[in-house]
């Protein structure tokens, strides 16, 4: 079991290598932007001057969490919420580790998950030939939980997942949205 670090916590790592011979302190933190997501920010102290160096920032990801591995090193785990199974992994993680996040972050995660479930449903219609009325029962309770959670972000309503097998069962057999038939060419 990983030892997760709260998203708002700034961690100081002592005796961090600086060049070949010197050691310094590294500060490791997450930066959160409601429109962009999370990114890792690290800053070191220049051991020659004692001043902070310019921060190094990673690219944004939908959700990043940090944890200490067995050797005590800080590692990251990313969640992208792209597709039903990825949504379920992310929602399950947030449900089990709800206390890692601030209320603002929780609202943002509810919004992200709600949007990605809508994208997942639309993709199922476009690329698998499913009908909206057949899909609605599989998304309905999930969407209601995400909306209620957004309205009350102090309450953990990530205890629901999408029925991926049920969603896939609505797919039209042998549906091929990218195959162009000769009849369609003639109609053009």
Angle at 140 between CA 83 and CA 145, to 5 degrees: 85
Ranges of each domain in the chain: 3-79, 84-169
How confident is the model at residue 3, as a pLDDT? 85
Average pLDDT for 121-136? 96
User: Secondary structure of the chain: what % helix, strand, coil (to 5)?
Assistant: 40, 25, 35
How confident is the model at residue 17, as a pLDDT? 93
Confidence of residue 32 (pLDDT cuts 50, 70, 90): very high
pLDDT per residue over 71-81, tens digit each? 889 999 999 99
| CA nearest neighbour of 115 among 150, 164, 154, 76 | 150
pLDDT per residue over 131-160, tens digit each? 999 999 999 999 999 999 999 999 999 999
In this structure, the number of other CB atoms found within 10 A of the CB of residue 43 comes to 16
Question: Is residue 188 scored above 80 in pLDDT?
Answer: no
Across the chain, what does the average pLDDT equal? 93
pLDDT per residue over 48-59, tens digit each? 999 999 999 999
Task: Kindly give the residue spans of alpha helices, DSSP state H, lying in 77-153.
Answer: 84-96, 103-128, 132-151
């Amino acid at each position: 079991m990983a030892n997760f670090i709260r998203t708002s916590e700034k961690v100081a790592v002592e005796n961090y290598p600086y060049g070949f011979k010197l050691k310094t302190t590294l500060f490791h933190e997450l930066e959160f932007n409601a429109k962009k997501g999370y990114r890792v920010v690290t800053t070191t102290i220049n051991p020659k001057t004692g001043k902070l160096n310019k921060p190094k920032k990673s690219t944004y990801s939908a959700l990043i969490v940090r944890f200490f591995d067995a050797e005590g090193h800080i590692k990251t785990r990313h969640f992208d919420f792209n597709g039903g199974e990825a949504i379920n992994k992310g929602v399950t993680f947030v449900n089990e580790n709800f206390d890692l996040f601030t209320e603002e972050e929780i609202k943002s995660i509810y919004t992200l998950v709600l949007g990605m479930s809508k994208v997942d449903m639309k993709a199922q219609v476009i690329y698998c030939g499913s009908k909206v009325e057949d899909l609605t029962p599989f998304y309905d309770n999930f969407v209601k939980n995400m909306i209620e959670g957004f309205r009350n972000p102090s309450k953990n309503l990530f205890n629901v997942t999408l029925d991926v097998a049920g969603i896939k069962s609505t797919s039209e057999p042998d549906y091929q949205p990218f195959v162009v038939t000769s009849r369609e060419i003639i109609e053009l």
